[in-house]
Structure 1
Amino acid sequence: MSTASIPVCTAIIVAAGSSRRMGFDKLSAPLCGVPVLRRTLDAFLTADAISSIIIVCPEERWELLGEAARFTKPVVRVDGGKDRQDSVAQGLAALPDGTELVAVHDGARPLVHPDDIARCVAEAAVHQAATLARRVTETLKRSDEDAFCTGAVSRENLWFMETPQIFSAELLRQAYAKVEEENLTITDEVSAAEALGVKVKFVESKHPNLKVTTPADLGLAEALIQ
């Protein structure tokens, strides 16, 4: 895809969570000397397909990122909400004029690759809705309430969801309006799009894109970086 044909895409990096499961602020944790959130931001600063960036985070996390004047693209901060979907809504309200596509990404996925971002943007430009995802390759089993195996689960056409999840700006606004109107609880933007009956194109990740959730994930992320 040529640069001229790339729609104007704004990234919303969601980084307002409390890191309760981690026991400390995982987005401030260093990965090879660089805070997790800064590594996430750098991936989107590097991606040619992204025009501007909104970071949904508290002031103390914003201060980890350095001076905004030195960023290579427009980057702004907005406060988050009570839940993830509230934080994304805050980001949507701050979209700059002219935004055609919105890429929502978890701040705790610092290894996302600019090439994968570009591929996902390209698919969203065609289908209005696309997400990075990873095929389920492990054997899956179902258990009873006592954790005894009761049988196998087919992994055919099953995917692990990742981010960014990218949509036309108007479609995502409509999806979030429906979420609010019907008081729905969602954990990602694909779920919001599904509430509208929209089909979302899966784009298979070609690079590691793990979500930092536990202390062990930090060690794995550092090993992958090195």
Structure 2
Amino acid sequence: MVTALIFAGGTGQRMNARAKPKQFLELHGKPIILYTLEHFEEHPEVDNIVVVCLESWIDELKLWLKRYDFRKITQIVSGGTTGQASIYNGLKAMEGSCQQEDIVLIHDGVRPLINKELISVNIDKVKKCGTAITVEPVIESVIYSEQGDLINAVPERSQMYIAKAPQSFRYEAIWSLHQKAQQEGLLAVDSAHLCNIYGVELHMVISPPNNMKITSPADYYIFRALYEARESQQILGI
């Protein structure tokens, strides 16, 4: 079984959106999170979807899901104070329905410009290798500095990548790591970082272009332009 775990528990403080969290900002009358969820809802290999949402917005999300007739969403879970805590809550909620070898794709609710092929490649990679971390090659030099002033290293750019999403695993493997981190009070940037800390072998999947995370007002306007460009390509064939 394949489950998509979509976490959208953040308040979007960098967005400066006073009325709504970033995942509920609308484009053409539909919240960003629904654009994200549609990719998993429509994918034939995804069996069900678990959403981690701000508790105060769960009822609002349910109304939107009903309006757009989503069928695969089996649970909506309250988010935590961090992304890591939200993922923990989602994985915990899946305990009763997931088997050890089931595949879970962990994805940001505000990363709506993925595609069917990326989801498929993630699933195939986990089947073959046990892990699949979506990455994007860097296009500029990366600087490493221990103190934030002196440059300690400039790594070879051809070896550098940016972590994206989905980040995909066997359920028992990633759930056990999140439990361990919770017990030890360990904080990680994302699940890939958590796996790296605990020495888990990670395998890469190359991201398609524009797999962006919407965290600021500028990101929203870029998303709108890219989405409308995609729509024009489909309608006009350009």
Smaller-chain TM-score bracket = 0.7 to 0.9
Which of 150, 155, 158 aligns to 1:156? It is 158
Please show how residues 81-120 of structure 1 align to structure 2 within 5 Å.
81-95=80-94, 97-99=97-99, 100-120=102-122
Query: Residue type matched to 1:11 in 2?
Result: A
Q: Output the CA distance in 2 between the equivalents of 1:64 and 1:178.
A: 35
Structure 2 vs 1, CA of residues 16 and 139 (structure 1 numbering), >3 Å: closer, same or farther? same
Q: Which of the pair is proportionally richer in helix?
A: 2
Cα-to-partner distance string for 1:164-213 (whole Å, 9 max, x where unaligned):
10000010112112212221001211122223311111100124210001
Q: What's the CA shift for 1:140? A: 3.6
Corresponding residue of 1:174: 176
Which of 43, 51, 65 aligns to 1:55? It is 51
Q: For structure 2, list consecutive stretches of 5 or more residues without a partner in the other structure.
A: 229-238
Q: What's the CA shift for 1:110? A: 1.0
Corresponding residue of 1:138: 140
Corresponding residue of 2:23: 27
Q: What's the CA shift for 1:218? A: 1.0
CA contact (8 A) 2:92 2:175 kept: no
Q: Output the CA distance in 2 between the equivalents of 1:144 and 1:185.
A: 19
Query: Residue type matched to 1:17 in 2?
Result: G
Query: Residue type matched to 2:207 in 1?
Result: S
Identity rate, percent = 28
Cα-to-partner distance string for 1:91-137 (whole Å, 9 max, x where unaligned):
11121524401111111101111210111111011111111110111
Corresponding residue of 2:233: none
Secondary structure at 1:177 match in 2: helix
Structure 2 vs 1, CA of residues 80 and 146 (structure 1 numbering), >3 Å: closer, same or farther? closer
Alignment of 1:71 with 2:70, yes or no, is: yes
Corresponding residue of 1:37: 33
Corresponding residue of 2:187: 185
CA contact (8 A) 2:51 2:73 kept: no
Query: Residue type matched to 1:19 in 2?
Result: G
Q: Output the CA distance in 2 between the equivalents of 1:46 and 1:207.
A: 20
Q: Output the CA distance in 2 between the equivalents of 1:28 and 1:162.
A: 21
Q: Output the CA distance in 1 between the equivalents of 2:200 and 2:60.
A: 34
Q: Output the CA distance in 1 between the equivalents of 2:181 and 2:130.
A: 18
Query: Residue type matched to 1:42 in 2?
Result: E
CA contact (8 A) 2:88 2:179 kept: no
CA contact (8 A) 2:98 2:171 kept: no
CA contact (8 A) 1:55 1:78 kept: yes
Q: What's the CA shift for 1:38? A: 0.7
Structure 2 vs 1, CA of residues 63 and 23 (structure 1 numbering), >3 Å: closer, same or farther? farther
Corresponding residue of 1:17: 10
Q: Output the CA distance in 2 between the equivalents of 1:150 and 1:192.
A: 24
Q: Output the CA distance in 1 between the equivalents of 2:170 and 2:121.
A: 15
Q: What's the CA shift for 1:149? A: 7.9
Q: Output the CA distance in 1 between the equivalents of 2:106 and 2:124.
A: 15
Structure 2 vs 1, CA of residues 17 and 123 (structure 1 numbering), >3 Å: closer, same or farther? same
CA contact (8 A) 1:10 1:52 kept: yes
CA contact (8 A) 2:7 2:83 kept: yes
Cα-to-partner distance string for 1:5-51 (whole Å, 9 max, x where unaligned):
xxx11111110111111111211112243211110111111122211
